[in-house]
Chain A
Amino acid sequence: MSEILEIKEILKEQYLDMFDLKTVRPGIYQIQLPYYYPDGDIYEIFLQKEEDNFIIQDYGLSLMKLSYDTDTESDSKKELIKRILSENQVSMDDGNISVSTKVESLIPNLMVMTDTITKLTSLNLLNRKISKNPFYELLEEFLSSKFIDFGFEKKFLPAEVPFAEDYLPPMAITKTKLNVPICIFPIASNDRCDQVTITVQHYLLSKYHPLLIGIYDNMEDITPKKSAKVTNLLDKQFSYLNKNEAYITEYLTDKIN
């Protein structure tokens, strides 16, 4: 057997092993797919047959799960939830997220449902409070002392980005020769790294492309998986602030003048 066929077989076999369906109420089946929340609980997705169609739905359980640590009833969160659902073309009725599908589109629509739940789950990352770390203040002091004449802002909310206030506001230098601002994200923890990833993804989805820079307190403190994700999104990163000030100043000055 060729290598590609062998790998294909392994993947098919393992995926099928993780798939299951069980009756939870008469005519309502819970689908087990290999998609898990960060706490290890499986996504809760149900299937119901209605004449020639299937209804894929969650009976409100995704928002129930999100509500453990997120205020799902605030106006801004409601807007974000509405937007995620609209982008994925799924409906919501009193918290029940659902997709109606013909039998031939069942799997693609199940994927739409899992993708929707994944996006909803990421909303809780944005509310995490970040511990007070002197690094954030040090960086702010350093950048404002050097770039105050170039429109330095410590909490920048780009007007071009919808719902920017619901995401992490970067520091920014707004007067540059690039015709776009330089957005600077300080990163001193894994949670902050996740927040930067989500914020930058939102910028890019909104077709907003400033110069994106990450400055770490100490890059070695960040889990490699998390820093790899953000590395793919940022234009430039500095592993440390300490003893790197001259290099950072030189780089930013070059982009400004």
Chain B
Amino acid sequence: MELNSEQLAMLNGEHGSAARKAMEILTALGEIYGAVDMVPVSSVQIAGVSYDNLGEAGLQFLFEMADGGGKARVLTTLNPAGMDVDNWEALGIDPLFAENQKRVIEAFERMGVVTTCTCTPYLSGNLPHYGEHIAWAESSAVCYANSVIGARTNREGGPSALAAALTGFTPRYGMHLDEDRSPTVTVEIAPTPANPSLTEDVRGDGSLRTMWFGALGKAIGEKLQGSEKKQVSYIEGIESASLEELKSFCASLATYGGTALFHMGGITPEAAVMTPPEQTIRVTQAEVESAQRSLGEAPSAKVDFVSLGCPHLSINEIAHLAELLDGKRVVKEFWITTARPTKHIADRMGYTKIIESSGATFAVDTCCVVAPIKGRFHTLATDSAKACYYATGKNNFKTRIMPFDDVVREAVGEGPGN
């Protein structure tokens, strides 16, 4: 790999031991993936922030980097932590875990990382522009940045994202290259008159279509999984998609298809300059419905945990939620997960007061994927396909997936899982 003088100086330890270690990680990855050189990045998103995932060994690595003079050279934000950093007691988090989680956040602070703790950095001040090279971890945000924004990032891991932050570089391969961003397969979404929910702009009752886009992401993701090489899909047949729907779709497609990039005709920016490939696969409404059924594996289970905010809720979703909860009483553990800056807006707008008066709990900085809640609940109700994957695989919950509005009905005791 070709390194310039600045990068060589880092590798030789002239910028401290943390920068050296970071450059070692980046050059080793560059060698594996055949990168010719490094590319400067302007934004980093670090994952692996929850102490539940990091463990003591991971925390020691962060201390080593902070002690070694590690300082973020570009705008760097964090993925969700294992708890609400301010309000962890209300979530039933163990004090020892809280102590360790705070040590993690402090280590990042020492390195100049902005500790927003969200999986939607693009909603909280870390919004790259079209064509910008970045180094993001968090698969849903990677998929969103590449596809919806048109920025360029590989799916980084925790250590490689931190290494990019401390050096300002990442090896140039994969999603940073034009040739790897071209679509390899066209995906045609086939609507049926009986259930046009995928192509209709807004459902008749005005509710959010986040669940349908999650199910669609799973249906497409699993079809792409069957092929030998990583596919970049060119999706046709979606007439409109809101920010929230794309956020849900990206999370699901990344979880079930390992996808870092897709193009969507008429919606994502690079689609306009790409040609849909001849090789075409069709996704039918029946397949989307089947994906949806497979996500709610416990159709008759009694729901004892309800959560919205995977990925973190936008202010638009919180406004809608406040409208639905106004004057209602929540009868189950109901977590609303979002980013701290979004919560501040909700406070100012009076949404927080309405939501908390109903008995729902804001779980800011965290989410039900990374919080240490394994085995604590029996059945989760959510609108998120990604949340279902982790609820079953990581936390041993059963799941029921339903539209956003129905999740709220479930929480107030009016849903089918009561």
Q: Do A and B come together as binding partners?
A: no
Give the interface of B toward A (CB within 8 A): none
